[in-house]
Amino acid sequence: MFSRQLSANQKADLDSQAINNFRAYLQIPSVHPNVNYDACIKFLENQAKSLNLPITIVSPVPQKPIVILTRVGTEPTLPTILLNSHMDVVPVFEEKWAHKPFSADIDEHNNIYARGSQDMKCVGIQYLEAVRRLKKRGITLKRTLHLSFVPDEEIGGFDGMKRFVRTKDFQDLNVGAALDEGMASPTDEFALFYGERCVWHLKIHCSGRPGHGSLLLDNTAGEKATHILNKLFAFRNQEKQKLVDNPSWTLGDVTTVNLTQISGGVQANVVPPELLITFDCRIPPEHVNIATWEETVNQWCKEAGVWVEYPVKQPQILPTKLDNSNIYWVAFKKSTDKLGLKLKPQIFPGATDSRNIREIGIPVIGFSPINNTPILLDDHDEYLGVETFLKGIEIYCGILISVGNVEERSG
């Protein structure tokens, strides 16, 4: 592996190019609903040309392109490294923004404001710019890198990564491990995610005796709903207490239960025949036996005289191992230790495309090199500091050198 140092002028030029590319990518309004990815494809085709990298575009679902740029390693038969990011961003409420959400304005504090600046167009560009710097320095890697840019992550990834991992196109990439998005950290630590909670939606049907609102009827829908609500909110309070009792735990270590919808009834003076209540539940891959959890919910419903359906019922997916059995983690940690980074491994509280990759047995590390920055993903006035963005590129350079050259273990 040959390496040469960059001059101050070369470094300045690369920094300027990286910022311009980041802002240009942010200015593409790849926003839900009904995202048109054409502008993203054109932008990435130009990036591939500037980097002299082959580019492949596949569409397991029409109008849902998956773009892959590849840097072939010196030992291309080795399992490859997938650097994944998503092109889509969540909707905006423009009137709540101090800067236009797709302007990529830079303010007097050198912060870049745009939807996607943290979630996660920054990471996609940092991958590209890290590869550019490695090429400029003449650094080659043993393993092939695949930079994937996928659609629809913000709406579940069902037509994006979830579908893609089950195709021959994905199998042909020969992926050994992947990097995907993490989250900003307001402290000097860097958040690192090795697993995700699974999502269950409980739709609880509370049927009861209807009648006039002036009566005191038995077995009403409201009474039954109250019983199940009390059970679920008592459980919710227990989970909140766990975070108090275990200061090292994060939100990803507990089960969150939130009432999100209540419907039913026809008018104020009529006791309804049914009330429908919906809960969003997020269940960690550790600390919880999911079969026992389901038995508990079913028992509560039986006690209340109600029944439950599960519109969403994701499986628990094993987290990525962070120990010596995972050669990719060992290489990742070696590079971040060398860079002096403080990592805080944890379970991701929400959901990303990492779960779709882990589900087929590939280890994934979720990491966005953003610290000392408020968490603003999906928030108004989302921003990322220029210096934080540029530092992230250098961090990825170190990570890619280490992970991209990791040796296979014999046997």
Q: Residue 46's domain is classified under what CATH number? A: 3.40.630.10
Of 255, 290, 313, the one marking the end of a domain is 313
Examine the pLDDT at 2 and tell me if it is beyond 70. Answer: no
Number of domains in the chain: 2
Of 294, 313, 332, the one marking the end of a domain is 313
pLDDT of 206: 98
Examine the pLDDT at 122 and tell me if it is beyond 90. Answer: yes
> What is the tens place of the pLDDT at every residue in 156-203?
999 999 999 999 999 999 999 999 999 999 999 999 999 999 999 999
Q: With residue 230 as reference, give the H or E element that holds it.
A: helix 221-245
- Write down the mean pLDDT value for the chain: 96
Question: Which residues span the domain enclosing 81?
Answer: 8-196+318-403
Residues 143, 244, single domain; the answer is: no
Examine the pLDDT at 409 and tell me if it is beyond 60. Answer: yes
Residues 306, 349, single domain; the answer is: no
Do the domain assignments include residue 156? yes
> What is the tens place of the pLDDT at every residue in 284-340?
998 899 999 999 999 999 999 999 999 999 999 999 999 999 999 999 999 999 999
Burial of 90 (0-12, 13-18, 19+ CB in 10 A): middle
385 close to 110: Cβ distance less than 8 angstroms: yes
Helix (H/G/I), strand (E/B), else coil: 411: coil
Do the domain assignments include residue 301? yes
Segment 43-53 mean pLDDT: 98
Do the domain assignments include residue 1? no
Indicate the residue type of 394: E
110 close to 378: Cβ distance less than 8 angstroms: no
Q: How open is the CA angle 389-391-396, to the nearest 5 degrees? A: 95
Segment 69-85 mean pLDDT: 98
Segment 106-121 mean pLDDT: 98
Residues 123, 231, single domain; the answer is: no
Q: Please list the residues that pair with 348 across neighbouring strands.
A: 196
pLDDT of 410: 55
Q: pLDDT category, 114, cuts 50, 70, 90?
A: very high
Instruction: Please tell me the distance from the alpha carbon of residue 40 to that of residue 53, in angstroms, as a whole number.
Output: 17
Q: Length of the chain, please?
A: 411
Residues 170, 208, single domain; the answer is: no
Residues 133, 12, single domain; the answer is: yes
Q: pLDDT category, 68, cuts 50, 70, 90?
A: very high
Residues 289, 353, single domain; the answer is: no
- Give the list of residues 6+ apart from residue 309 with CB closer than 8 angstroms, or none: 203, 205
Residues 207, 299, single domain; the answer is: yes
pLDDT of 1: 67
Indicate the residue type of 228: I
DSSP string for residues in 238-294: HHHHHHHH-TT--GGGS-EEEEEEEEE-SSTTEE-SEEEEEEEEEE-SSS--HHHHH
Task: Report the CATH number that the domain containing residue 280 is assigned in CATH.
Answer: 3.30.70.360
162 close to 346: Cβ distance less than 8 angstroms: no
Indicate the residue type of 191: A
Residues 21, 58, single domain; the answer is: yes
- Give the list of residues 6+ apart from residue 272 with CB closer than 8 angstroms, or none: 208, 210, 221, 222, 264, 265, 266
Q: pLDDT category, 277, cuts 50, 70, 90?
A: very high
pLDDT of 286: 86
Residues 353, 394, single domain; the answer is: yes
Share of the chain above pLDDT 70, in %: 99
Residue that has been written with the tokens 């994006």 in this structure? 160
Residues 167, 206, single domain; the answer is: no
> What is the tens place of the pLDDT at every residue in 225-270?
999 999 999 999 999 999 999 999 999 999 999 999 999 999 999 9
Segment 341-347 mean pLDDT: 97
> Could you tell me the two tokens for 346?
């944890």
Question: What is the SS3 string spanning 169-221?
Answer: HHHCCCEEEEEECCCCCCCCCEEEEEEECEEEEEEEEEECCCEECCCCCCCCH
pLDDT of 411: 45
Do the domain assignments include residue 55? yes
Examine the pLDDT at 4 and tell me if it is beyond 90. Answer: no
Instruction: Please tell me the distance from the alpha carbon of residue 376 to that of residue 390, in angstroms, as a whole number.
Output: 18
Do the domain assignments include residue 280? yes
Helix (H/G/I), strand (E/B), else coil: 13: helix
Of 260, 281, 313, the one marking the end of a domain is 313
Residues 125, 25, single domain; the answer is: yes
Segment 214-232 mean pLDDT: 97
- Catalytic positions, written as ranges: 88, 153
31 close to 165: Cβ distance less than 8 angstroms: no
Q: What is the pTM assigned to this prediction?
A: 0.93
Do the domain assignments include residue 2? no
Instruction: Please tell me the distance from the alpha carbon of residue 353 to that of residue 148, in angstroms, as a whole number.
Output: 11
Do the domain assignments include residue 410? no
Do the domain assignments include residue 26? yes
Residues 229, 326, single domain; the answer is: no
